[in-house]
């Protein structure tokens, strides 16, 4: 009985040990299966992400194709505009040559008119002398007639003399008639020349109007050509940037999927590596959460920055009582603050006015509130040359524009703006707002550009984000 009891206990103990081993094996199998399911779930998620990236790439390729078509259309339009501009310039040159030719023709006609007038003067003198001779002959004829009546003895001689006088008279009358015909002819010639001169003046006026019109057409074509080129460059730049970003995302996703597939193949022999992988996934989630948090912070900062700039604009206009303050947002998220010459500088001077200092005080407060933005100060002038007197410190508008930019930078530094954020740029008169002489004052200005941070700088935390 004791032996049977001992045997029963041994069997019970063996059963318990086997049961414990089975439970432990099942637990290990369950844990391994669960980890494998987790890997499959992660792999499916990454595959879905890869598919979405591929869809995005396909969409971007379609967009890029449409942009390529649009770029081709813009290039064709630029070629057409350049052809129109070339033809207009050729026509303008032809009109100018024709105008010169007409001017020479007018000079020739004027010379001919002068010659005709001189001939008329000569003929008038000849007519006067002929009239005088006619009067003398008539007096002489009267005298001879009286002599004939008083003296019959010399009738033969007087008759002969009278015949000579009458012949001279007839000759003078014929010459007078010829001269009158010549005068009429010269008068008609003078009238025809005057009509030609009037016609030439009208043609000259029409050519002048046509030249002015073609100049205006060339200016319009140049503006349209510049606009088309700018649009083409913007489309090309945006398409290249999108393609690079999507290619980078696709490469990252493919690398992640390859890594997960390798982990799945080794899952049966690398159960301990799952803990490390879980840790990697946790760090990835933490990084994603951190990036989402930073993106939200950036959006908040951007909204706060816009509100701050709007407030600065209102305060500038109220304080300076000037509408020559422009704040605009560019396509690349660059903010431009433009201050006109009536606020910042006197003519041909780089010394800040009192209004300019007040404006920069308000702007410096806004800049110091957002230290993550780099700042570029641009100086501009009008195209009028500077006088070279001993009181003028600047050889040309290049030095003047750079000096104005540097003057604004020095003042911002004195108002606690970090010098590492600032840069000085001078454009002279080569980036005008207008080409009209009466509006040259608009070109005398400074522009404060707040440059955006790049995505790589934000991710690597090289630029701090304000909460």
pLDDT of residue 432: 94
What is the rounded distance in angstroms from the CA atom of residue 251 to the CA atom of residue 400? Answer: 50
375, 366 Cβ separation under 8 angstroms: no
pLDDT at 408 over 80: yes
400, 348 Cβ separation under 8 angstroms: yes
pLDDT of residue 449: 94
What is the rounded distance in angstroms from the CA atom of residue 442 to the CA atom of residue 432? Answer: 8
Q: What is the DSSP string of 118-181?
A: HHHHHHHHHHHHHHHHHHHHHHHHHHHHHHHHH-STTHHHHHHHHHHHHHHHHHHHHHHHHHHH
Tell me, rounded to whole angstroms, the distance of Cα 326 from its chain centroid.
18
What is the rounded distance in angstroms from the CA atom of residue 401 to the CA atom of residue 344? Answer: 12
Which helix H or strand E contains 94, and what residues bound it? helix 2-150
Q: Which fold has domain 76-232?
A: Helix Hairpins (1.10.287)
Q: How far is CA 343 from CA 192, 321, 356, 379, in A?
A: 64, 10, 5, 14
Q: What CATH code would you report for 297-385+392-459? A: 3.30.1330.60
pLDDT band at 466 (very low <50, low <70, confident <90, very high): very low
- Half-sphere CA count of 334, side-chain side, radius 13 A: 13
Residues 10-39 have a mean pLDDT of 65
| Of 352, 427, 347, 350, the residue nearest 387 (C-alpha) | 347
CA angle 420, 423, 424 (to 5 degrees): 150
Q: What is the DSSP string of 206-257?
A: HHHHHHHHHHHHHHHHHHHHHHHHHHHHHHHHHHHHHHHHHHHHHHHHHHHH
What is the rounded distance in angstroms from the CA atom of residue 260 to the CA atom of residue 45? Answer: 11
335, β-bridge pairs: 329, 450
What is the rounded distance in angstroms from the CA atom of residue 62 to the CA atom of residue 197? Answer: 66
What percent of the residues of the chain are helix, what percent strand, and what percent coil, each to the nearest 5? 75, 5, 15
200, 70 Cβ separation under 8 angstroms: no
pLDDT band at 397 (very low <50, low <70, confident <90, very high): very high
pLDDT of residue 4: 47
pLDDT digit string, tens, across residues 54-67: 888 788 788 778 88
The beta-carbon contacts of 197-201 under 8 Å, at least 24 apart in sequence, are 197/106, 197/109, 197/110, 197/113, 200/102, 200/105, 200/106, 200/109, 201/106
pLDDT band at 312 (very low <50, low <70, confident <90, very high): confident
Stretch among 318-322, 324-328, 366-370, 409-413 having the lowest mean pLDDT:
318-322
352, 360 Cβ separation under 8 angstroms: yes
pLDDT at 72 over 80: yes
Torsion of CA 172, 173, 176, 182, to 10 degrees: -120
Stretch among 2-6, 278-282, 463-467 having the lowest mean pLDDT:
463-467
pLDDT band at 81 (very low <50, low <70, confident <90, very high): confident
Task: Report the greatest alpha carbon distance in the chain.
Answer: 222
pLDDT of residue 411: 96
Residues 257-285 have a mean pLDDT of 74
**Mean pLDDT across the chain, nearest whole number?**
79
Choice between 335 and 17, residue whose per-residue pLDDT is larger: 335
421, 374 Cβ separation under 8 angstroms: yes
pLDDT band at 465 (very low <50, low <70, confident <90, very high): very low
pLDDT band at 22 (very low <50, low <70, confident <90, very high): low
Residues 433-448 have a mean pLDDT of 90
Q: What is the DSSP string of 35-66?
A: HHHHHHHHHHHHHHHHHHHHHHHHHHHHHHHH
Residues 38-64 have a mean pLDDT of 80
pLDDT of residue 277: 73
What is the rounded distance in angstroms from the CA atom of residue 185 to the CA atom of residue 176? Answer: 14
Listed by start position, the domains of the chain span 76-232, 297-385+392-459
Highest mean pLDDT among 31-45, 175-189, 394-408 belongs to 394-408
Highest mean pLDDT among 71-80, 149-158, 211-220, 429-438 belongs to 429-438
3-class SS at 373? coil
326, 335 Cβ separation under 8 angstroms: no
Share above pLDDT 90 across residues of the chain, in percent, rounded to a whole number: 14
Centre a 10 Å sphere on the Cβ of residue 71 and count the other Cβ atoms it contains.
17
Share above pLDDT 70 across residues of the chain, in percent, rounded to a whole number: 81
Which helix H or strand E contains 285, and what residues bound it? helix 273-320
What is the rounded distance in angstroms from the CA atom of residue 221 to the CA atom of residue 83? Answer: 10
pLDDT digit string, tens, across residues 228-265: 788 878 877 776 777 678 778 778 877 887 887 787 78
Highest mean pLDDT among 105-114, 265-274, 405-414, 437-446 belongs to 405-414
Phi/psi at 266 (nearest 5 deg)?
-95, 10
């Amino acid at each position: 009985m004791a032996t049977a009891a001992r045997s029963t206990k041994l069997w019970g103990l063996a059963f318990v040990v086997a049961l414990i081993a089975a439970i432990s094996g099942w637990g290990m199998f369950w844990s391994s299966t669960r980890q494998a399911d987790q890997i499959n779930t992660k792999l499916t998620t990454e595959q879905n992400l890869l598919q979405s990236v591929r869809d995005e790439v396909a969409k971007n390729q379609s967009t890029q194709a449409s942009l390529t078509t649009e770029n081709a259309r813009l290039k064709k339009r630029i070629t057409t505009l350049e052809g129109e501009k070339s033809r207009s310039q050729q026509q303008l040159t032809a009109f100018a040559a024709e105008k010169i030719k007409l001017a020479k023709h007018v000079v020739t006609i004027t010379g001919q008119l002068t010659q005709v007038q001189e001939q008329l003067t000569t003929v008038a003198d000849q007519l006067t002398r002929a009239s005088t001779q006619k009067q003398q002959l008539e007096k002489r004829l009267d005298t001879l007639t009286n002599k004939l009546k008083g003296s019959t003895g010399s009738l033969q001689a007087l008759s002969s003399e009278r015949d000579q006088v009458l012949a001279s008279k007839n000759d003078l009358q014929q010459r007078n008639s010829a001269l009158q015909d010549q005068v009429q002819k010269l008068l008609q010639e003078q009238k025809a020349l005057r009509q030609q001169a009037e016609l030439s003046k009208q043609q000259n006026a029409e050519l002048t109007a046509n030249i002015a019109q073609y100049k205006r057409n060339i200016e319009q074509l140049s503006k349209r050509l510049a606009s088309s080129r700018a649009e083409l460059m913007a489309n090309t730049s945006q398409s290249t940037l999108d393609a690079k970003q999507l290619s980078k995302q696709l490469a990252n996703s493919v690398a992640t999927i390859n890594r997960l597939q390798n982990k799945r193949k080794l899952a049966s022999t690398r159960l301990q590596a799952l803990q490390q992988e879980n840790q990697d996934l946790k760090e990835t989630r933490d990084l994603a959460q951190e990036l989402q948090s930073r993106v939200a912070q950036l959006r908040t900062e951007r909204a706060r920055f816009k509100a701050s700039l709007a407030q600065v604009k209102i305060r500038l206009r109220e304080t300076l009582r000037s509408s020559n303050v422009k704040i605009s947002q560019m396509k690349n998220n660059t903010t431009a603050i433009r201050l006109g010459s009536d606020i910042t500088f006197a003519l041909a001077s780089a010394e800040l006015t009192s209004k300019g200092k007040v404006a920069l005080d308000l702007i410096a407060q806004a800049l110091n509130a957002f230290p993550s933005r780099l700042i570029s100060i641009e100086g501009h002038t009008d195209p009028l040359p500077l006088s070279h007197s001993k009181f003028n410190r600047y050889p040309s508008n290049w030095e003047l524009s750079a000096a104005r930019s540097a003057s604004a930078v020095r003042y911002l530094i004195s108002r606690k703006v970090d010098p590492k954020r600032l840069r000085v740029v001078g454009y002279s008169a080569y980036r005008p707002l207008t080409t009209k002489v009466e509006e040259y004052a608009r070109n005398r200005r400074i522009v404060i550009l707040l440059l955006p941070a790049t995505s790589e700088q934000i991710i690597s935390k090289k630029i701090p984000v304000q909460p």
